[in-house]
Amino acid sequence: MNIATQEEWPALRDVFAGRRVLLTGHSGFKGGWLTLWLHMLGAEVRGISLAPQTRPALFDLARVAESCDSRIADINDPMALSAAAADFDADLVIHMAAEAIVRDSYDGPVQTFMTNVVGTANVLEVARRIPSLRGIVVVTSDKCYENNEWDWGYREVDPLGGSDPYSASKGCTELVAQAYRRSFFRDQDGAQLASVRAGNVIGGGDWAPHRLIPDIVRATAARQETLIRNPRSVRPWQHVLEPLAGYLAVAAGLLGGDRGRMAGAWNFGPDAEATVPVGQLCRIFAQEWGPGAPRFAFGTDAAGPPEAGLLRLDSTKARLHLAWRPRLSLQTALRMTAEWYRAHAGGADMRRVTTDQIAEYERLMAQSPDLEIAG
């Protein structure tokens, strides 16, 4: 992959260079990618998170701690959280720390609600005490919507809900963010709060349990077939860099002069062509893997907890007001993902592999620079 130069992609660097960003969840999969990207953009990042929850972990493999001031703290512990955030005059808070696995929420529903709901309130309380703050981005999920299994995508104005503990906790997270926005961040001249929602994200460095791509990678490394639950279930898929580009666009707007326009909720979902059955995704991923490709056993898992059959996002708002759009086809997203895991299996420098993929994505953005950076 070619690496983009700063001259080819100046816009976000102009916004984030020298900015101080407080990022929770930096040791996680999406948080690790975002930390590296913010560092590449010239931001000064302080990360607050639990220690990595998987082994291996992107945080370790890509040496994410080299790109930030890394602090280990639990957002459910207000004193530890406050201490970790102390003496850092942030311009921007991005809150990503969360319980992120749907299936785990059935085993630990109280912990899921505690982290996703009360933990978010704890982070927003810290944010309220930062005098230099210009914006807050709360990252939730497409699962925050009351899912009626519609064929069309959900809009930001659709009802929140959730039938399982994870989904309900994300709906509650949105309500907490909305309450803080209306109660404490309503001054148009002060810090503004936005929430961002994305769906099934794929990409290198995800090792979480009960997720499709990590399960495939683990089985392939063990030279085993992957049992695929419900291969006919339809899901929208997108590479991790796609929603992160949207989060950065919102954050850039919050740091700019028209911050009030950015407050509220934003969806970042893939195009319709990336909404495919699980079985089809597996076949494309195997094709992109090449020699030693994953093997599958397709069936059903009747004993598993209930899962949504279809949930899509309508990203019209982001397209119209941010000029955001997906830039990667599903095949390209799966090719990049397969390349990352093959590189890891081959002993490559995974920090270099990860930052090269970010740079390649920046190059694609620079080729069609229609992303709006609000001033």
Least-confidence region, from 7-11, 226-230, 271-275, 286-290? 7-11
Q: What's the confidence (pLDDT) of residue 308?
A: 59
pLDDT of residue 305: 63
Q: What is the mean pLDDT of residues 333-354?
A: 98
At 34 the pLDDT is: 98
What was the pLDDT predicted at 234? 86
For 323-327, what is the mean pLDDT? 93
Q: Who contacts 107 (Cβ-Cβ below 8 Å, separation ≥6)?
A: none
Q: Out of 119-123, 157-161, 237-241, 346-350, which region has the weakest mean confidence (pLDDT)?
A: 157-161
**What count of other Cβ atoms lies within 10 Å of the Cβ of residue 285?**
27
Percent of the chain with pLDDT over 70: 93
Comparing 1-15, 21-35, 77-91, 257-271, which segment has the lowest mean pLDDT?
1-15
Q: How confident is the model at residue 171 (pLDDT cuts 50, 70, 90)?
A: very high
Mean pLDDT, to the nearest integer, of 227-231?
Answer: 88
pLDDT at 210: 86
Name the least confident of 1-15, 162-176, 275-289. Answer: 1-15
Write down the pTM of the prediction.
Answer: 0.93
**Cβ neighbourhood burial of 11 (10 Å; 0-12, 13-18, 19+):** middle
- Tens-digit pLDDT profile for residues 111-168: 999 999 999 999 999 999 999 999 999 999 999 999 887 878 999 999 999 889 999 9
Q: What is the DSSP string of 139-204?
A: E--GGGB-----SSPBPTTSPB--SSHHHHHHHHHHHHHHHHHHHTS--TTS-EEEEEE--EEE-T
The predicted pLDDT at position 7 comes to 39
Neighbours of 79 (CB within 10 A): 9
Confidence of residue 5 (pLDDT cuts 50, 70, 90): very low
**Is residue 357 pLDDT above 50, yes or no?**
yes
d(CA 328, CA 270): 9
Query: Residue 67 has what pLDDT?
Result: 98
Confidence of residue 18 (pLDDT cuts 50, 70, 90): very high
pLDDT by residue (tens digit) across 297-310? 987 655 566 665 67
| Extents of the domains making up the chain | 11-200+238-269+311-333+348-367
Lowest mean pLDDT among 209-218, 300-309, 346-355: 300-309
In words, the CATH class of domain 11-200+238-269+311-333+348-367 is alpha beta
Model confidence pLDDT, tens digit, residues 66-116: 999 999 999 999 999 999 999 999 999 999 999 977 778 888 899 999 999
